[in-house]
Amino acid sequence: MFALILIYLYYIMKIVKKLINFYNHRTMERKNQFHKLGILYGTDPDTLDLTKKFVGHLINDEEFCTACEEFEQKVNCDECRRDLKSYSNNIFYYEQIGENIPQFIDDPLQYLPENLPNLDFLLVIGIHKDLLSGLPEFLQDKNIKAVIVPVEDPNWVPPGLQKQVLEAFEDVGIQAAFPKPYCSLNFEEDTYNKKGINLTHDTKYIKEFIEYFRIGKPIVSFKLSPDGKAIEDACIIKSAPCGSSYYIVQQLKGKYFLNGKKDNLPLNERISKAHHSYPCNASMDQDNILKDSILHVGGYIIRNAIRKELGLEEEEGTKLKYVIK
Residue 3 is predicted with a pLDDT of 58
Structural class in CATH, domain 37-98+118-213? alpha beta
Residue 2 has pLDDT above 80, yes or no: no
Higher pLDDT: 18 or 4? It is 4
Best-predicted range by mean pLDDT among 27-31, 54-58, 62-66, 78-82? 54-58
Q: Which of 14-18, 115-119, 165-169 has the lowest mean pLDDT?
A: 14-18
Q: Which SS3 state, helix, strand or coil, does residue 177 take?
A: strand
Domain ranges of the chain: 37-98+118-213, 219-309
Query: Residue 278 CA to chain centroid, in angstroms?
Result: 16
Q: Which SS3 state, helix, strand or coil, does residue 268 take?
A: helix
How many CB atoms neighbour CB 127 within 10 A? 25
C-alpha span between 38 and 58 (Å, rounded): 12
- What is the tens place of the pLDDT at every residue in 155-202? 999 999 999 999 999 999 999 999 999 999 999 999 999 999 999 999
Q: Identify the helix (H) or strand (E) that includes residue 277.
A: helix 267-277
Mean pLDDT along residues 28-37: 72
Residue 70 has pLDDT above 70, yes or no: no
Mean pLDDT along residues 113-139: 97
35: nearest Cα among 210, 157, 182: 210
Mean pLDDT along residues 134-148: 97
Residue 4 is predicted with a pLDDT of 55
Higher pLDDT: 140 or 78? It is 140
CA distances from 75 to 63, 67, 70, 223 (A): 16, 10, 9, 22
C-alpha span between 262 and 255 (Å, rounded): 12
Residue 257 has pLDDT above 60, yes or no: yes
Residue 32 is predicted with a pLDDT of 59
Q: How do the residues of the chain divide into helix, strand and coil, expressed in percent and rounded to 5?
A: 40, 15, 45
Read off the pTM: 0.84
What is the number of alpha carbons within 13 Å of residue 248 lying toward its C-beta?
A: 34
Task: Return the percentage of the chain with pLDDT > 70, whole number.
Answer: 81
Strands 219-224 and 175-177: unpaired
Residue 19 has pLDDT above 50, yes or no: no
Higher pLDDT: 30 or 265? It is 265
Query: Following DSSP, what letter does each residue of 98-125 receive, concatenated?
Result: -TT--SS-S-GGGGS-S-----SEEEEE
Q: Which of 17-21, 73-77, 79-83, 307-311 has the lowest mean pLDDT?
A: 17-21
- What is the tens place of the pLDDT at every residue in 228-245? 889 999 999 999 999 999
Average pLDDT over the chain reads 86
